[in-house]
Amino acid sequence: MTTVQKIKEVEDEMARTQKNKATSYHLGQLKAKLAKLRRELLGPSGGGGGGAGIGFDVARTGIATVGFVGFPSVGKSTLMSRLTGTHSEASEIDFTTLTTVPGTLKVHGAPIQILDLPGIIEGANDGRGRGRQVIAVARTCHLIFIVLDVLKPLGDKAIIEQELESFGIRLNKKPPAITVRKKDKGGIAITSTVALTDIDHDEIKAILSEYRISNGDVAIRQPNATADDLVDVIEGNRVYIPAIYVLNKIDAISIEELDLLYRIPMSVPVSSREWWNIDELIDVMWKTLNLVRVYTKPRGLPPDYSSPVVLRRGKCSVEDFCNAIHKEIAKQMKYAIVWGASAKHSRGQKVGLDHILEDEDVVHISKK
């Protein structure tokens, strides 16, 4: 029996099993078993590996990477070509794009790499239509544009989300506030600072048993934590990526239908053909990427606002700023003077390497 068949068998058994106090232990085991089978499918032993493959590996450029994911013929290539000026074959025929096509879009002085990925189909995470290679590239992106046809957005949205979830991608979520610490002895100790509404102690123990953890501490601080959250923490190979739902081809619908589309969370309706609402899409992309622009100020000169140093939130200290320019600058720095949102005074603040910068700060580096 193949891994895909085993997965189908476990899923069927889960669908047949009604959740109650008597079955919670069994369901916990099934969820853990399903996660382990999915891991087999992703790894080299699954027959194809988790790597991207020929035509899918691209050199990374820019400060952040945005991947276009969607079904064939939803307008990804047209949108990519017009955003970046990079030619990506567009056609009404399905599967016109067969490899990853990279391009670069400059937003507020920051170079953003855009990847047009081949269209995926239902069953992609099981290897259909080279889907696993497509999703493997999507796992490495900082943001995913899920491009949907406005005439059938919700059905396609659910299928694509399922394909990405099955490949360990968690969209618009944060890592669960759950810790699992293995011990040599003492059995299983479960503590929680929130009410356990969607998982009980039997289910937790069943999942740990399936992973052969017989001694350990489980601490849950996640409201409404589920068995899937616990499995994700134990597996440790999940990626948490923000996603924007790009609802394309709004030139084919009415104003009333457009109002309904805006109710879909994290969505931006556009027309890549007519170039409608693209400004809003770029604005939402910039806010979601949460980048930090820092301007340099040479001694005795005004700040250089033409070419900011762009940093990622969470890696935006003065030391990160120095390293982004040249790795030797941090070693030579005596102190830095910062103006802007992160400074305590409007006249500027003298800071060290560990100072955290905010968007549109101005920095002058004084060397030893």
pLDDT of 59 over the 80 cut: no
E strands of 122-235, at which residues? 143-149, 169-171, 178-182, 188-192, 216-220
Enumerate the β-bridge partners of residue 105: 112
Across 117-132, average pLDDT: 60
Partners of 365 in the beta sheet?
Answer: 336
Instruction: Show the tokens assigned to 25.
Output: 């232990």
| Confidence check: pLDDT of 181 > 70 | yes
For 145-167, what is the mean pLDDT? 88
Q: Alpha-carbon distance 86 to 99, whole Å?
A: 14
Rounded to whole angstroms, the maximal C-alpha distance in the chain is 75
Task: Please tell me the distance from the alpha carbon of residue 97 to that of residue 264, in angstroms, as a whole number.
Answer: 28
Token pair, residue 13, equals 């058994």
Lookup result for tokens 């032993």: 45
Question: Which two three-digit tokens encode residue 274?
Answer: 């007519």
Give the sign of the dihedral formed by CA 162, CA 259, CA 74, CA 69: negative
**How far apart (Å, rounded) are the C-alpha atoms in residues 283 and 274?**
18
Average pLDDT over residues 304-321: 92
Closest CA to 160 of 67, 228, 238: 67
Flag whether pLDDT at 272 surpasses 60: yes
Which percentage of the chain shows pLDDT scores above 70?
87
Lowest mean pLDDT segment, chosen from 48-57, 76-85, 130-139: 48-57
**Long-range contacts of 357-360, Cβ-Cβ distance < 8 Å, separation of 24 or more:** 357/292, 357/294, 357/311, 357/316, 357/317, 357/318, 357/321, 358/292, 358/316, 359/291, 359/292, 359/293, 360/293, 360/294, 360/295, 360/308
Q: Looking at 85-99, 125-139, 280-294, which range is the least confident one?
A: 85-99
Element (H, E) at 28: helix 24-42
pLDDT band at 152 (very low <50, low <70, confident <90, very high): confident
Average pLDDT over residues 94-107: 71
233-265 pLDDT tens trace: 999 889 999 999 999 989 888 888 888 888 889
Rounded Cα distance between 144 and 141, Å, is: 7
User: Cα angle vertex 159, ends 155, 161, to 5°?
Assistant: 115
- Position 16 scores a pLDDT of 86
SS3 of residue 216 by DSSP: strand
pLDDT (tens digit per residue) in 187-213? 999 999 999 998 999 999 999 999 999
Q: Which residue has the tokens 């406005």?
A: 150
Instruction: Give the span between the Cα atoms of 114 and 104, in whole angstroms.
Output: 6
Report the amino acid identity of residue 255. I
